[in-house]
Structure formats: C-alpha cells, structure tokens
Copies of this chain bind each other. A is one copy, B any other.
Amino acid sequence: MAEVADGPARVVLTASVARRYYLDGRSKVEIAEEFGLSRFKVARLLDAARASGLVRIEIRHQGEIDVDLSARLQDRFGLQHSVVVDTPDDDADSLRGHLGRAAARLLAEIITPQDVLGLAWARAVSAMARALPPLPGTPVVQLTGALSLPDGPGTSVDVVREVASASGGAAHVFYAPFTVPDAATARALRGQPEVARAFAQLPLVTKAVAGVGLWKPGQSTLYDALSEDDRTALHRLGVCADVSGVFLSADGEAITTELSERMIGIDAEQMRAIPEVVVIPYGASKSPAVRAALRSGLVDGIVTHTALAHAVLEE
C-alpha cells in the first residue's frame, strides 16, 4: 500500500491517467491515444495506481442501512434478502419502530401482484404492518393463532385485516388462540371451517413475515405466555429458538414437541414451503436464536439492526 515509489513525472502521469479513466470514464484506448501510450501501458499504470493506493474506491451508504453488514449476513447464511439498520437504539420500542419501517420498505419493494402474503404474530410484525404502504391487491393470510398480550397493539387477526384492507386484497383470518390446553381442543379448532379455510391458503403463501424468539424469559412472547411446565419441557428438548411457533434447536433443526399438537399455527414443513420467509429479530442477546433460525433453512430474509447482526456474525 506504500505510495508510488517512482519519480514525480510518473506519479503525475499515473494520476492523470487514473483521473481520465475513473472520473471521466474514458476508455483505455482513448487514454492511450491521448497520452501517446500503448493501451497496455495504460492498463499497467492503472493497476499500479490501484495497488499503490493512489486511487481509492470506497463503498458506503449514508442512509441508515449498513450495506456491508447486510451483505455479509446475506452471504454467510445464503439469504435472499438482508437489511441491517444502523441504529444505536437500545430501547426495544423504538428499535421495533425502526425495523418495522425498514421491513415495510423491503416488503413493499419485493412484493409483486402475484404474491400472497403470510403474517405471523410478533410485535415487530405489527410494527411493520403499521408502516406498510398499500400493496396492490395482495391477499393476506394469518399464519398463527392469537396470543393474548394485554398491552399489545393488536392481535394476529387485527394485523392481517389491517394489511389486507389497506391493500384491497382478501384477508384469510381465523379466530383461535395460539395455544390450547390439550390436543383434542386443537384438533377441534383446526376442524372448524373458518380455520380450515385459512389453513388451506397456506400452500399458496409466497412471502411471509415472522418474528424470532429466544427460548428464555423475556426473549420470546410465546415463552412468556406458556406455563412453567411447558417452558422447561421444551427447554429439555433442546429448544433454543421459536420462529412464530416453530421450534428450533441451537443448530437450526426443527423440533416437534407435544406442545405442537396443542398449537394452532403454521408448522415447520409449511414454513419451509414458503418461498420467502422474512424475520425481524432485534436485541443483541437473541443472537443464538437468530443463528438457529438462519441455519434452519426456514428463513430466507432478515431485517435487523447492527448490534444483533454483529453478534450473529461473530461465531
């Protein structure tokens, strides 16, 4: 990287050539003619200019997206889309707001009129829904039952209806809780026409948005909603993360549990069948869960913030 160790005439010539090439966009042949050199000489001067650091190329985005981290996440986990928002936010609420807006922009960008949108319930998904511009007649499908959250801004049903009505598309919703006390009740609920109709739409979903929880207190809405018995039972089975009700081990294997029988929502196989599932995790402590989700192969896109992205990439 040492500066050109040549004489001043060569330095000036190199700089002039580099200017013509990189800034004025002339071709090497043109430059060669202008300076009376062979085009090979010009190419070598340009190589030298870059090798010596005389020409410096930098890629940087002055918006709130950290393109470098985004690309690294995308490469590392083979994702279709990755958006890392550069925000120092520590507060969960404003973080959700930021990520929600970013996810809304991403979704608006990648969705087409042919797409069918699936929405799981998560607070970040709610935040996204609020920031989402009207989509062109996109049908919206509810992926999970409702979790009762006293201070929540809306249930899974509300979010789906909201997005569908703004888009003018069909809303495939059902009224049922996410978890029930026993498998029989769950089977009965799934048998109900409304629920069955909604579930019948699942194979048609082409894009979905979900949240990610870490299987620890305060790191997963589902964890916090379950009984102590359920929590520890799943913990013993090696559950590390939940992606809107789909349980994963630390290395991303889907884990089927007795609890799965008692839930009304999408399962791992159905989720895997969706071409693009985007998750919106936040909080650096969730990194094990995010790693699990990204390794699972269920997830194709991510919207998150720098701190968590860094944590995920540092193996």
| A60 touching B56, Cβ below 8 Å | yes
CA distance A9 to B303 in the complex (A): 10
Question: Would A59 and B109 be within 8 Å (CB), given that A8-B102, A9-B81, A83-B9 are in contact?
Answer: no
| A54 touching B65, Cβ below 8 Å | no
Question: Would A15 and B61 be within 8 Å (CB), given that A9-B83, A81-B9, A83-B9 are in contact?
Answer: yes
| B71 touching A11, Cβ below 8 Å | no
| Contact among B8, B56, B58, B61 with A105 in the assembled complex (CB-CB below 8 Å) | B8
CA distance A29 to B15 in the complex (A): 28
For this complex, 30 residue pairs linking A to B, each with C-beta atoms less than 8 Å apart, are: A3-B61, A4-B63, A6-B109, A7-B105, A7-B108, A7-B109, A7-B110, A8-B65, A8-B105, A8-B109, A9-B81, A11-B65, A12-B65, A12-B67, A12-B70, A12-B74, A12-B82, A15-B67, A15-B68, A19-B71, A22-B57, A22-B59, A23-B57, A49-B59, A54-B60, A54-B61, A55-B57, A55-B58, A55-B59, A57-B57
- Looking at A9, A75, A105, A109, the one whose CB has the most chain B CB atoms below 10 A away is A9
Number of interface residues of A (CB under 8 A): 43
Q: Could you say which residues of chain B place their CB within 8 Å of the CB of A227? A: none
| B54 touching A15, Cβ below 8 Å | no
Q: Is A44 an interface residue (CB 8 A)?
A: no
Question: Would A15 and B106 be within 8 Å (CB), given that A57-B22, A59-B55, A61-B54 are in contact?
Answer: no
Q: Could you say which residues of chain B place their CB within 8 Å of the CB of A75? A: 16
Q: Copies per complex? A: 2
CA distance A103 to B57 in the complex (A): 31
Q: Is A10 an interface residue (CB 8 A)?
A: yes
Q: Is A18 an interface residue (CB 8 A)?
A: yes
| A106 touching B8, Cβ below 8 Å | yes
| A63 touching B11, Cβ below 8 Å | yes
Q: Is A62 an interface residue (CB 8 A)?
A: yes
| Complex interface residues of chain A between 31 and 73 (CB less than 8 A to chain B) | 49, 53-63, 65, 67-68, 70-71
| B60 touching A57, Cβ below 8 Å | no
Given contacts A4-B61, A7-B109, A8-B109, 7 further A-B contacts (CB under 8 A): A15-B59, A16-B67, A16-B74, A19-B59, A22-B57, A54-B61, A56-B57
